[in-house]
Amino acid sequence: MITAYLTHPDCVLHHMGPDHPESPARLEAIRARLSLDGLLQQTMQGEAREVEPAALARVHAKRHLEALERCLPEQGLTSLDSDTLMNPDTLRAARVAAGAVVKGIDQVFKRQADNVFCAVRPPGHHAETADAMGFCFYNNVAVGAAHAREHYGAKRVAILDFDVHQCNGTIDIFKNDPDVLICTSYQFPFYPWRYLKSEWPNVVNTPLEAGTKSAGFRSAVEQQWLPALHDFKPDLVLLSTGFDAHRDDPMGELELEDEDYYWITCQAMEIAKLYAENRLVSVLEGGYNPKSLASGCSAHLKALLGLPFEAAPGASA
């Protein structure tokens, strides 16, 4: 498999204060671990580009985009809500984060790569059509899905979101769209406290109780996601890949292991192989313990590269 790895130096310019869990150090932890495991060197590394305004406008209301620009501070921090803040570089980072997904879409449709991992921040899956929230400003995966439909004629886009939080933003943007299938697993009840029980034909909600371990997670995916995906037959698979459902992450109380991230990635790749000519693009969402974030990403990338799951020599999993 040819796996592209996309990021950008400007992703680390966005910060929300020294004690905020969504920290620039997240990306360095990922890069250090992937380098140590010898995985980064096996990818086709590339740099994201800024997203075009038209790509953002396909999924976000004009008033939302204009409001973010107005809120951008010249110095210091501005709070949008209790945990979502902006510094002067926030929108630059958010534009390259969304732009990475757009570039990843281009790569898989132009057959430059089989799959892509976008190691970017800020995350995006909580950003709704007209609201920034939950550390998110632009909905990166939604921007990518809309780009695929607009430029490559993608007819059936599957978005698989495995994170300790539900992808309320992605649901808000695509609810009732029969050409987008959203499968989302999350701790219940938990933030964002909206859309958790709402049901649309194109949304597969998979709430998990606190304390859910590997077996419960895998069983839910096998029973709920896989039948829906086989029925849907996507021509593009997108992953909102959150590592805050890991047992060592402080954000929630799910207890997934590194190997679960390998397993779910393999399941997604099999769907992409069967129906989408391998086209799969993954974008980073949550993950706030640097060690488990990095080890989870390592497992994820091993799967994308077609490598077996095993702990790297000298590195704890």
> Which are the catalytic amino acids?
126
Alpha-carbon gap, residue 306 to 160, rounded angstroms:
19
- Within 10 angstroms of residue 172's Cβ, the number of other Cβ atoms is 19
Phi, psi of 44 (to 5 degrees): -95, 95
User: Among residues 136, 138, 177, 134, which one has the least CA distance to residue 158?
Assistant: 177
Phi, psi of 273 (to 5 degrees): -65, -40
| Sign of the torsion angle spanned by Cα atoms 159, 207, 171, 222 | positive
Two tokens, residue 109: 């449709």
Alpha-carbon gap, residue 63 to 25, rounded angstroms:
32
User: Among residues 110, 132, 130, 135, which one has the least CA distance to residue 120?
Assistant: 135
Rg (C-alpha) for the chain, rounded Å, is 18
Phi, psi of 315 (to 5 degrees): -120, 135
Residues shown for the chain = 317
* Parallel/antiparallel/unpaired status of strands 3-7 and 44-47: parallel
How many Cα atoms occupy the beta-carbon half-sphere of 191 within 13 Å?
14
